Structure 1
Amino acid sequence: MSQTQGTQPFVLFDNVQKSYDGITLVVKSFNLGIDKGEFITLLGPSGSGKTTCLMMLAGFETATHGDIFLDGRSINNIPPHKRGIGMVFQNYALFPHMTVAENLAFPLEVRGFSKAEREDKVRKVLDMVQMDKFGGRRPAQLSGGQQQRIALARALVFEPSLVLMDEPLGALDKQLREHMQFEIKHLHEKLGITVVYVTHDQSEALTMSDRIAVFNDGIVQQLAKPADLYERPTNAFVAQFIGENNKLKGRVKTLTGDTALVEFADGQQAEALAVNCKGVGQPTLCSIRPERVRIGSQASLYATEGQVIELIYLGDHIRCRMSVYGDDSFIVKIPNAGDGTMLSVGQTIKVGWDKNDCRALDA
């Protein structure tokens, strides 16, 4: 990712707020810099403010407070069609009475390209999304996946430097959705465009993004690379929203450097990495990924005992629900190594993990 000319990022949200009624802030003091060529995802549950931020960048919503800059200039007062931004929506938004080629030529016509230029660009972009034989068809004659490819092509046809995507794969089935994730990512890498992508699907965000901004209640909870977000969540919301997580409620007994000694509901104690806990005597939530837990002879130096409550066979792994530290919803993912490792419901077994994989967060 290259930094743009000077010190200012290519896209900059500077202390942006949005309210629809003058009282409730849907977006609260949003600050974000996006480098040229970066693929950044705004991720969060419905109503968290992510789509509102995208619509303010597109120009379909106006910021109540703050500035939005594109390539060094404020775009607050520039109408959407003059911002030079490509858009892809979940519902495709293709003109039903036009052929595929006419749909793709339309944004070029609006921008004053000649007929020969339009035909050349449409041919190139159809080839790029592997739809070169479909120019003469109407949208109704295409499958959902084909329509989404055309919607993507229309956003790219006038070669914008910035493309915004709002839940673009939401209407597709799982297999096609996963296929399109890789296609979009490969197109991004090939063309070097800047992409701002909105989704509530965490696996989609992890697969595609250079960085992810996790939203909740109008605030960015954490902005980081996918691996950092997954491995090192800074608060309980991010830990539970990104991937599956065990959440053990406890109270901080002692704090020594970056280590918290935590006491759990059943009176047992364990060490955790002190990431975001309020202090000695305060409640905390210890977060541990199910795949980081080891059982039996593989349990690491730090260990306790757990009782097996439920076993579910999922092909590549076995999902084991256990009672650990008085919590009956503790999950362990056991890789299916095909060695016949068998557990049984009711069995008590050693359970362990590395201290650094257990993060003491806000309660």
Structure 2
Amino acid sequence: MEANGDIIVKFDRVQKSYDGEILVVKDFNIDIERGEFLTMLGPSGSGKTTCLMMLAGFEPATHGEIYLNGKPINNVPPHKRGIGMVFQNYALFPHMSVAENLAFPLKVRGLDKATVDQKVKRALDMVQLPQMAGRRPAQLSGGQQQRVAVARALVFEPDLVLMDEPLGALDKNLREEMQYEIKHIHEQLGVSVVYVTHDQSEALTMSNRIAVFNDGVVQQLAAPEVLYEQPSNAFVAQFIGENNKLYGKVSEISGETASVELDSGTRVQALAVNCGGTGERTMLSIRPERVVLGDEGASNKLTGKVVELIYLGDHIRCRMEVAGHDDFIVKVPNSHAHAALKVGEETPIGWVTEDCRALDVM
């Protein structure tokens, strides 16, 4: 393989089996660009963490080759790959101070004391913990420990940092705060990051690109906004964000548009994305915020019966019965429009064809 200055990691037809029979990673191919924040996202057991462990060197690939900076690394031990790691459990040395934890990866690389001290100070400043240098990990909060773990992964200035569900042990508010902090550190340093999580909102917040895993296969690899707005299959549509689904049969395809007869008998128009041919079953995907009350300007006009109204501050979450489904969600902006909504009453709803995607059936 020729070195490509823009590609830092390449997975080439990589497979992984733990028992010699079942593949937990199936023919994985991906190029990770230098300086990008790439997230491997998927449910438990989908293969994302296994891919990260193979890149780190903690698991061998069963088949295929992994390249780092254009060089094959399958046979390179973890400590010689020069990769920073951040784990969910922090993995800090409890008997060392914060400064000693940060100094450790520098000392094993043979740096002199003055250089070590300088780099440790810079790393502590970066995560806003200069006053914690003398403390032990047990004397820090969970968020502070996680900051130290991030600093330790970055202190020796690696080309690549791997993060395995690093925020999983934090409470919701601190988790969101750390998401932005890690994102800003990445932007500041320009280091390449490969991040693993099962939290789709976390992935959308932090990433340049997201690889959505299911059953050992990448279902879609794209920027966050593309995954959300243009899911390529039913799994991605369901896994990324909140999604309304309606089922029916393709009655006609004309160019990029599919005419679909829903199971309730209603006929709607949708983008023909991944729905097979005429006569095939399909799942329609419509995001809740794309549905409007009233049908003015809508190419698809239906009727919804209000089942439940939940006040969420900036919007009202309205659960409706639509075309025989009682779990159809409409996000209504918190304005005078919602005042007319009453549980048990029917109201016209609609959406434009471009906001409805005809996909495969899960």
Corresponding residue for residue 142 of structure 1: 140
* 3-state secondary structure, aligned to 1:30: strand
2:88 pairs with 1:90: yes
Corresponding residue for residue 319 of structure 1: 317
2:254 pairs with 1:256: yes
- Cα RMSD after superposing both structures: 1.3
Picking from 100, 103, 110, the partner of 2:101 is 103
Deviation for aligned residue 1:5: 6.0
Runs (5+) with no aligned partner, structure 2: none
2:279 pairs with 1:281: yes
Q: Indicate if the aligned counterparts of 1:299 and 1:351 stay in contact, CA closer than 8 A.
A: no
Q: Aligned partners of 1:332 and 1:141: how far apart in 2?
A: 47
* Compared CA separation, residues 246 and 318, structure 1 to 2 (3 A): same
Q: Aligned partners of 1:169 and 1:226: how far apart in 2?
A: 19
* 3-state secondary structure, aligned to 1:345: coil
Please list, as runs of the form range in 1=range in 2, the aligned pairs for 1:1-363 lying within 5 A after superposition: 6=4, 9-296=7-294, 298=296, 300-337=298-335, 341-363=339-361
Q: Indicate if the aligned counterparts of 1:28 and 1:219 stay in contact, CA closer than 8 A.
A: yes
Deviation for aligned residue 1:302: 2.6
Deviation for aligned residue 1:8: 6.8
* Compared CA separation, residues 299 and 348, structure 1 to 2 (3 A): farther
Deviation for aligned residue 1:347: 1.1
Q: Indicate if the aligned counterparts of 1:8 and 1:72 stay in contact, CA closer than 8 A.
A: no
Normalised to the residue count of structure 1, the TM-score between the two structures is: 0.97
- The total of aligned residue pairs comes to 360
Q: Aligned partners of 2:23 and 2:338: how far apart in 1?
A: 55
Q: Indicate if the aligned counterparts of 1:10 and 1:70 stay in contact, CA closer than 8 A.
A: yes
Deviations 1:180-220 (A, max 9, x none): 11111111011010000000000110010000000000000
Bigger Cα displacement from structure 2, 102-111 vs 232-241: 102-111
Deviation for aligned residue 1:314: 1.3
Deviations 1:250-307 (A, max 9, x none): 1111111111111112111111100001111110000000000001265624311111
Q: Aligned partners of 1:270 and 1:339: how far apart in 2?
A: 25
Deviations 1:31-85 (A, max 9, x none): 0001110100000000000000000000000000000000000000000000000
Normalised to the residue count of structure 2, the TM-score between the two structures is: 0.97
Q: Residue 318 of structure 1 aligns to which amino acid in structure 2? A: I
Q: Indicate if the aligned counterparts of 2:43 and 2:214 stay in contact, CA closer than 8 A.
A: yes
Q: Aligned partners of 1:6 and 1:275: how far apart in 2?
A: 33
Runs (5+) with no aligned partner, structure 1: none
* Compared CA separation, residues 194 and 7, structure 1 to 2 (3 A): closer
Q: Indicate if the aligned counterparts of 2:295 and 2:350 stay in contact, CA closer than 8 A.
A: no
Q: Aligned partners of 1:339 and 1:331: how far apart in 2?
A: 16
Q: Aligned partners of 2:231 and 2:307: how far apart in 1?
A: 28
